[in-house]
């Protein structure tokens, strides 16, 4: 897994290869680390092991037919890539989405946000060395997987959203199941906080490690939880007011440096815990409000032929931040160009400039706290 | 500021030879965009970021698109301002044979990886980029896959890039209406045998 190469017997600098099959790299990622003992001089990420040319595939699929591929952009939070692609096509073709479908999108996305954050939190704790929180977090994720499976039939690559709406309405009794889950989830988060977030060892391990300032975060294009942990109160759900988010009441948690400096690894961990609570709030409201809109009104009117000309750029707030989709149509059945701008991709860019001076073990904490998912980097 | 205001300000600063061709997003293109003369892109970017009224501190997306019909490659920059909440889309049209454009890494660090990806997949050369290597593909990969005329090589270091189509290997022939079912079955078996032979060869 790792091998050590001494460049020069007299020099203390050595080159350490980490990955691509390293358990802490969240997929297939490789780092070439130049280190002086335990201290990193430079860590160069080597990505692309999971490159599947999803953008090129998009040029050969019809607009509807591309939807299952978007699941694979980010398989931990597939719902957002679905939503992103659907909204990009809707913007390009001026399609209206019924309110009920928008609510279903918000509900499915927020469920997915919680489950994605659960993987991020559990895996990060495990990377640091705390094994117990991982199964605790995955237990909650398991409930959500069951719920989403009832909704759309899939547990990982959902393919639930459609251009113009969603594929299925809620099954009977599903709403009560979600409420029942949320009743257990909120106390579970309190428990999780007691177990790991406020654990003294954990706090000491992560406070003041790999601090990213607000300026740096903006400059390097960090988005989503990573940006907010650096103290920038910016959330697309509030600022862009897309979908039905303006009708819902929720807060944006921002990194405050409660145990160290704003923008350290612990802030990024804590912020995701808070976001799960906000998602739970959103879910309760959305489930209450969805019945103001008629049942089974889940698909908008689609043009008979989907052959748009023009271009559109759309972004949604995914679990890993601002996910953008840029689509160009030139009158054909297939899009002329598809581009996905993902949060993990830009987050990886900051690893190299942030790494000098870190301990090798802290690099693991940095990667885990950025919550990168390898297929989202490589696409 | 609306995109039109941003365009007017940029044009006032640099003249209509550098920033021109404003499209207000009313027709097919849903986001207002304007064209920028490629060799001045860095100046335009610097002004966008440093001017207090523009304050565009977030480079969202760098996209390259190949247009062989027009013999050009377009590089599209989506730029956004967190403080002012406005956006402008800049487009630079490059010569397809010799796509060169100055880098924006000195303005926005986020451009670093996005430009590397654009170089990797489309072969656009970003002049002055500190580390213009392939990002997603292996260093010794040939060609730039997102170009429209790209054709994948048959193999990469002896690894075939094309698999035989399994549907073509196993052809199932249905019985004729006249009742020649046995013949059909025999054919199917023969096909399956050849298929295994082909598989072994592969």
For residue range B85-124, list pLDDT tens digits in order.
Answer: 888 888 888 888 888 899 888 888 888 888 988 898 888 8
Q: Which of B29, B76, B145 sits opposite A53 (nearest CB)?
A: B145
Is A309 at the interface with chain B, CB within 8 A?
Answer: yes
Q: Which of B82, B135, B137 sits opposite A234 (nearest CB)?
A: B82
Distance CA A48, CA B2 (A): 38
pLDDT of A1 reads 46
Distance CA A201, CA A191 (A): 17
Is A55 at the interface with chain B, CB within 8 A?
Answer: yes
Query: Given an 8 Å threshold on Cβ–Cβ distance, is B136 in contact with A48?
Result: yes
pLDDT band per the 50, 70, 90 thresholds, residue B186: very low
Closest alpha carbon within chain B to A51:
B136
From chain B, pick out residues whose CB is under 8 angstroms from the CB of A348: 113
pLDDT band per the 50, 70, 90 thresholds, residue B190: very low
pLDDT of A5 reads 59
Q: Which of B31, B76, B109 sits opposite A220 (nearest CB)?
A: B109
Q: Please, what are the domains in chain A?
A: 2-46 (no CATH), 54-342+358-378 (1.10.645.10)
Distance CA A103, CA B45 (A): 39
pLDDT of B184 reads 45
**Residue A6 β-bridge partners:** A14
Helix (H) or strand (E) holding A352: helix A351-354
CA distances from B48 to A5, A260, A268, A354, B144 (A): 45, 34, 30, 26, 31
A56: its two tokens: 């090129």
pLDDT of A114 reads 92
pLDDT at B177 over 60: yes
Alpha carbon of A254: minimum distance to chain B alpha carbons (Å): 15
Is A49 at the interface with chain B, CB within 8 A?
Answer: no
Whole-prediction pTM value? 0.84
pLDDT of A7 reads 57
Is A88 at the interface with chain B, CB within 8 A?
Answer: no
pLDDT of A85 reads 92
Question: Average pLDDT of B23-30?
Answer: 77
pLDDT of B185 reads 47
Q: Which of B60, B112, B136 sits opposite A51 (nearest CB)?
A: B136
A–B: how many Cβ contacts below 8 A?
Answer: 86
Q: Which of A51, A239, A379 sits opposite B85 (nearest CB)?
A: A239
- Chain B interface residues facing chain A, Cβ-Cβ under 8 Å? 27-31, 57-61, 63, 65, 76, 78, 82, 85, 89, 108-110, 112-114, 117, 121, 134-138, 145-146
Q: What is the ipTM of this complex?
A: 0.83
pLDDT of B127 reads 86
Give the three-class secondary structure for A299. Answer: strand
Q: Please, what are the domains in chain B?
A: 3-154 (3.30.460.80), 166-201 (no CATH)
What pLDDT tens digit does each residue of chain A (379 aa) get?
Answer: 455 555 565 567 888 888 787 766 677 888 888 888 888 888 888 888 888 888 888 888 888 889 889 888 888 888 999 999 999 998 888 888 888 888 999 999 999 999 999 998 988 888 888 888 889 999 989 999 999 999 888 888 888 988 888 888 888 889 899 999 999 998 989 888 888 888 888 888 888 888 888 888 888 888 889 998 888 888 888 888 788 888 888 888 888 888 888 888 898 899 999 999 999 999 989 888 888 888 888 888 888 888 888 888 998 988 888 888 999 988 888 899 899 988 888 888 888 888 888 888 888 888 888 888 888 888 8
B140 exposed, middle or buried (CB, 10 Å; 0-12, 13-18, 19+)?
A: exposed
pLDDT digits (tens, 9 = 90+) for B36-71: 888 888 888 888 888 888 888 888 889 989 888 888
């Amino acid at each position: 897994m790792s091998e050590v190469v001494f460049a020069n017997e007299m020099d203390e600098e050595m080159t350490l290869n980490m990955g691509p099959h390293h358990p802490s790299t969240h997929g297939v990622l490789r780092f070439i680390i130049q280190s002086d003992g335990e201290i990193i001089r430079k860590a160069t990420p080597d990505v692309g092991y999971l490159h599947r040319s999803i953008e090129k595939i998009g040029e050969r699929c019809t607009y509807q037919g591309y939807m299952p591929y978007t699941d694979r952009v980010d398989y931990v939070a597939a719902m957002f890539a679905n939503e992103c692609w659907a909204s990009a096509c809707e913007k390009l073709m001026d399609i209206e989405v019924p309110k009920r479908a928008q609510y279903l999108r918000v509900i499915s996305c927020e469920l997915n946000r919680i489950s994605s954050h659960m993987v991020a939190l559990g895996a990060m704790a495990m990377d640091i060395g705390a094994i117990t929180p991982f199964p605790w977090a995955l237990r909650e994720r398991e409930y959500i997987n069951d719920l989403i499976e009832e909704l759309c039939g899939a547990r990982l690559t959902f393919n639930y959203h459609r251009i113009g709406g969603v594929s299925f309405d809620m099954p009977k009794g599903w709403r009560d199941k979600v409420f029942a889950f949320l009743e257990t989830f909120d106390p579970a988060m309190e428990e999780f906080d007691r177990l790991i977030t406020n654990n003294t060892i954990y706090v000491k391990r992560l406070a003041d490690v790999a601090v990213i300032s607000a300026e740096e975060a903006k400059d390097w294009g960090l988005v989503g939880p990573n940006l907010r942990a650096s103290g920038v109160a910016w959330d697309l759900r509030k600022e862009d007011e897309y979908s039905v988010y303006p009708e819902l009441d929720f807060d944006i948690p921002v990194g405050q440096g409660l145990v160290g400096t704003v923008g350290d690894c612990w802030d990024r961990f804590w912020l995701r815990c808070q976001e799960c609570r906000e998602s739970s709030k959103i879910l309760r409201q959305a489930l209450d409000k969805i019945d103001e809109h008629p049942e089974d009104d889940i698909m908008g009117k689609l043009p008979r032929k989907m052959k748009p000309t023009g271009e559109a750029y759309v972004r949604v707030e995914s679990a890993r931040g601002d996910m953008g989709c840029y689509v160009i149509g030139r009158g054909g059945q297939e899009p002329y160009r598809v581009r996905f701008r993902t949060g993990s991709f830009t987050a990886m860019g900051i690893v190299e400039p942030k790494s000098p001076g870190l301990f090798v073990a802290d690099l693991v904490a940095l990667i885990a706290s950025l919550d990168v998912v390898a297929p989202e980097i490589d696409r | 500021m609306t995109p039109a205001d941003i365009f007017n300000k940029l044009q006032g600063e640099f003249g209509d030879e550098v920033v021109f061709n404003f499209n207000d997003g009313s027709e097919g293109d849903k986001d207002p965009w304007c064209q920028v003369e490629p060799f001045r892109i860095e100046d335009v970017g610097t002004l966008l970021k440093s001017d207090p009224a523009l304050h565009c501190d977030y480079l969202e997306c760098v996209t390259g698109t190949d247009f062989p019909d027009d013999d050009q490659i377009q590089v599209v920059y989506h730029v956004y301002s967190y403080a002012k909440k406005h956006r402008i889309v800049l487009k630079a049209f490059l010569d397809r044979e010799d796509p060169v454009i100055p880098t924006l890494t000195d303005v926005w660090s986020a451009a670093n990886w996005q430009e590397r990806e654009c170089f990797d997949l489309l072969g656009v050369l970003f002049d002055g980029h500190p580390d213009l290597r392939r990002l997603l593909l292996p260093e010794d990969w040939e060609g730039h896959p997102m170009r429209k005329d790209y054709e994948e090589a048959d193999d990469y270091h002896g690894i075939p890039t094309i698999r035989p189509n399994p549907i073509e290997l196993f052809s199932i022939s249905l019985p004729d209406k006249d009742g020649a079912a046995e013949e059909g079955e025999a054919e199917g078996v023969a096909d399956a045998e050849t298929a295994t032979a082909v598989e072994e060869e592969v």
